[in-house]
Structure 1
Amino acid sequence: MTRTRTAATFAPPVMEARRWLEGVNFPEDRPLINVSQAAPVDPPPLALREAMAEFAINEDHAHLYGPVLGNPELRAELAAQIGSHYDANVAPDQVAITSGCNQAFAAAISAITDEGDEVILPTPWYFNHKMWLDMTGVRAVDLKTNDHLLPDVDTARALITEKTRAIALVTPNNPGGVEYPAELVRAFYDLARETGLRLLVDETYRDFDSRSCPPHELFQQPGWDETLVHLYSFSKAYRLTGHRVGAIATHPDLLSEIEKFLDTVAICPGQIGQFAAHWGLQNLSQWVAGERDEILDRRAAIQEQVPRLKDKGWRLLGLGAYFAYFEHPFDIPSDELARRLVPEAGVLLLPGTMFMPKGDPAGKRQVRIAFANLDRAGIAQLFDRLHSLSF
């Protein structure tokens, strides 16, 4: 078979995991606990849905093409919100809207790399980032993290070659959940600026960061947009996963290159999703604060349950935002463990092998739990099932 772009990478992990459910029956007294994906399962709040419905019915332009880089009012509102969140000044022409944050990453990579170039990714990595690099012929250079899932700047420096074009970070992290300290993010920014690289910082989960202060000071740096490519998603904050609305903040010149990609792939972001994001920015700050409090309470519930698993040999590696990342104690690889958990425990989670380079032994000992859709009772039930395992 002729080698193709898509054949260069692996199957979508979440879709692969869902196939493990085929033919499995879950009794009423032990329903499936699905902690495989970090996507809200509830719809947006009613007030937002009503506003979206009214917009779709009454505004003809809700169904038309719009500007490739997004609607001006949303770009302006997001620029102001970013400025407020990071205590900085951000202009509307430094912001573009995309069809989801994955597209934001794909567009940025397409604008700054050529086939054969390299991008440094900390491991465990977000698998869709790795998949896109594979499909574009860009080599993902894995940057191993420490026992707290934090990457090291000096180790990254040693990986830089004449082919390196960018370093990509995710904070709060997917899959590890960890919040990168502000000084660590700044150190990576300084490294990228010094070496002429772009620093991509995916902050999809920033609305659920436990810190009350700005999570980093990159937007406060003079000429920040010459180095930083900030990626964001409205999917988690407003439960707009099905509407695919994301964003990029960077230099206008780079956005002009990114515009070529966006125009070719999707022409423009969807109008209803953009309306919803704009309405949310203007009206839902208190609601999002409540959602954040709920996620942080679920994070606390995970932390309270950890000693039970620690006694069984489990080790918590990372926790925050939507994710808990564990090292399991069993003498079987995590991909086998994850498959067996479906029929034997009624639990669907993702193995560390989906977030690590092929053959990396660390991935065979790790699993990711996406806990955001579980309440405290559901979290307790999940830990009951994990606690009772024996393989």
Structure 2
Amino acid sequence: MNYHIAARMDRMAPSGIRKVNEKALAMERAGEKVLHFEIGRPDFDTPEYIKKAADQAIAEGKVHYTSNFGLMELRQAIADKLQRENHVDYKASEVLVTVGLSEAVFAVLAALLDEGDELLVPDPVWLNYINVPNLLGAKAVTYSLKEENGYQMDLDEVRAKITSKTRGIVIVTPNNPTGGVLEEDVLKELAEIAKANDLMVIADEIYERLVYDGAKHVSIASLPGMKERTFTMNGMSKAYAMDGWRLGYVAAPEEYITVMNKFHQHNTTCAPNFVQMAGIAALTQEGDEVQEMVKEYQRRRDYAVQAINAIDGISCLCPKGAFYIFINCKQLGKTSAELSQYFLEQAKIALVPGDVFGPGGEGYLRMSFAASYESIVEGCGRLKAAVEQLRTSGR
């Protein structure tokens, strides 16, 4: 039998991150000890108070559909959080609860982009921002995030790439995969560009709580005239170690929330009731759990950055946010994909090739330091030995 597969699926690339992960898991099943630095998920358990809230919700029978928009109590808790922490005066009616940030991306771009429209997207970037526009028949036009510029936007490049078809600009800050945090002055200038060209800004803030060395996360929606032209996207996955709970949200003008909810209704209906109850607890009962996680991430980051920069042939900037190090491997004379395979097979360490995140990532490897300190110490040792072997052999 010949199976017909829709041509649009050819416009979506499979996850290069999961490709590395699947190979690493297969190696583990064969008895090899692999150190995992490829998956962007916290290695901490979800805080106990959040799990108890979910248990209680299940015990109370909160296992049925909620409003498609999400529980009003959760939408209000999100609005309160955005007012308190991000200094944006959102109302509960301006919040849509989604099944993770991934669904929020689909809902936002489905509401914003027509076929033939253009969207400015960072390079490198999490590939959902390339794949989803492609699937919708729109075009992702990339702008560069370069190491030599501290992974800040080149705003002159952004201006030059705006056309009559441009509908919006994506920013991811803190950034995946670079770990860069956009500076406030850059965001202020970007806001003026958006207003002058009547563009929407899609702001991915999922890593906002994971910042180091006094770095400041600024929500672009908090700048003058920007709330009405910003989609603020976030979720519980990173800050609260709730990646498997699949709970995200988008805050935007009500006109967009209403339209996005149509996509959400047909896609997932609603996030699970008891998971939403856990989300309310996360936002309203937080103690020092997040701060403790961030402190441990910084300890791991500090060790890894120092160890990597002590290895001849590779280097990295010290990331100011998220939990990724973007390792510059250009001196090694191999492609990112070749190096990822080499380090996995020879050193048993799983790293993501930078080209997975776009052409600008070629020559880099992404290392997640959301792994135990002990694993990072061992992994950096394995990395050093493998680089030295590669440089010595010339292969």
The TM-score normalised by the length of structure 1 is 0.91
Question: Shift of residue 218 of structure 1?
Answer: 3.1
Q: Is the 8 A contact 1:125 1:355 kept in 2?
A: yes
Provide Cα deviations, 1:46-65, integer angstroms capped at 9, x if missing partner. Answer: 2322221121022x2x2211
Partner of 2:327: 326
Q: In structure 1, how many angstroms separate the alpha carbons of the residues matched to 2:39 and 2:28?
A: 20
Cα RMSD of the aligned pairs, angstroms, is: 2.1
Taking a change above 3 Å as real, the CA distance of residues 285 and 136 of structure 1, as seen in their structure-2 partners, is: farther
Residue 217 and residue 231 in structure 1: after superposition, are their counterparts in 2 closer, same or farther (change >3 A)?
closer
Contact 2:50 2:281 in 1 (8 A): yes
Correspondent of 1:366 among 358, 361, 364: 364
Q: CA deviation at 1:213?
A: 7.8
Shift of 1:214: 5.6
The alpha carbon displacement at 1:2 in A equals 5.9
In structure 1, the partner of 2:105 is 105
Displacement after TM superposition at 1:27 (Å): 9.8
Greater CA drift, 35-44 or 344-353:
35-44
Q: Is the 8 A contact 1:314 1:326 kept in 2?
A: yes
| 1:222-241 equivalences in 2 (<5 Å) | 222-241=224-243
> Cα gap change, 1:379/1:22 in structure 2, threshold over 3 Å: closer, same or farther?
closer
**Counterparts of 1:204 and 1:160, CA distance in 2:** 26
Q: Determine which of 377, 383, 386 is the counterpart of 2:383.
A: 386
1:126 equivalent to 2:107? Answer no
Alpha-carbon spacing, 1:162–1:24, altered in 2? closer, same or farther (3 Å): same
Deviations 1:334-361 (Å, cap 9, x if unpaired)?
10111121120010110011011xxx4x
The one of 17, 31, 39 equivalent to 1:14 is: 17
The answer to whether structure 1 residue 295 and structure 2 residue 297 are counterparts is yes
Alignment match, 1:249: 251
89-98 vs 249-258, greater mean Cα deviation: 89-98
The within-5 A match list for 1:15-54 is 15-21=18-24, 24=27, 31-54=33-56
Task: Indicate yes or no: 2:93 matched with 1:90.
Answer: no
The CA deviation at 1:90 is 2.4
Counterpart AA for 1:355: F
| Amino acid corresponding to residue 128 of structure 1 in structure 2 | N
Deviation at 1:298, TM superposition (A): 1.9
CA distance in structure 2 between the aligned counterparts of 1:192 and 1:37, rounded to whole angstroms: 33
Moved over 6 A (4+): none
Instruction: Check the 8 A contact 1:87/1:214 in 2, yes or no.
Output: no
Alpha-carbon offset, residue 245 of structure 1:
0.5
Structure 1 portions without partners, runs of 5+: none
| 1:38 Cα deviation from its structure 2 partner | 0.8
Counterpart-to-counterpart distance in 1, 2:80 and 2:5: 49
CA–CA distance in structure 1, aligned partners of residues 219 and 243 of structure 2 = 28
Aligned-pair CA distance for 1:94: 2.1
1:2–1:86 distance in 2 versus 1, CA, 3 Å: closer
Distance 1:96 1:212, change over 3 A: farther
CA drift of 1:167 comes to 0.6
Measure, in 2, the Cα distance between the counterparts of 1:116 and 1:297: 46
Aligned amino acid, residue 362 of structure 2: K
TM-score normalised to the size of structure 2? 0.91
1:211–1:226 distance in 2 versus 1, CA, 3 Å: farther
Q: Are residue 161 (structure 1) and residue 163 (structure 2) matched?
A: yes
Of 378-387 and 85-94, the range deviating more from structure 2? 85-94
Distance 2:294 2:66 in 1: 32
Structure 2 unaligned spans of 5+ = 391-395
Change (3 A) 1:212 1:365: closer
* Equivalent-residue separation in structure 2 for 1:213 and 1:233 (angstroms): 20
Give the corresponding residue for 1:57. Answer: 59
C-alpha displacement of 1:128: 1.9
